[in-house]
Amino acid sequence: MHVLGSTILFIIIILGSLWNNHFIERLTSYSPQQKMQLATEIGNSIAIASVLLTSIQLLYPLNLIIGLLKTKKS
């Protein structure tokens, strides 16, 4: 779960970073206001994904401890 979540969020951050204003302008025929709104939404998505990725990384030690405790009980 930890690895899958980290991988998905990392991909979201990378793709969001690559989808910058140049690509928005080149690939869409949006008005300047729509382009700004799309860029803001992409930036917000990157920020949320970064926070979630950090949270998942902080869960790793807990996951490791639970795995070690399950191994000792067996």
**What pLDDT sits at residue 3?**
81
- What are the tokens at 62? 């807990």
Assess whether pLDDT exceeds 70 at residue 74.
Answer: no
pLDDT digits (tens, 9 = 90+) for 2-49: 788 888 888 888 887 777 666 766 767 777 788 788 888 888 888 998
Assess whether pLDDT exceeds 80 at residue 61.
Answer: yes
Give the whole-angstrom CA distance, residue 49 versus residue 45.
6
**Global confidence as pTM:** 0.67
Tell me the residue type at 65.
Answer: I
With DSSP H G I counted as helix, E B as strand and the rest as coil, what are the percentages for the chain, rounded to 5?
90, 0, 10
Residue 6, C-beta contacts closer than 8 angstroms, at least 6 positions apart: 53, 56, 57
**What pLDDT sits at residue 62?**
86
Residue 12, C-beta contacts closer than 8 angstroms, at least 6 positions apart: 45, 46, 49
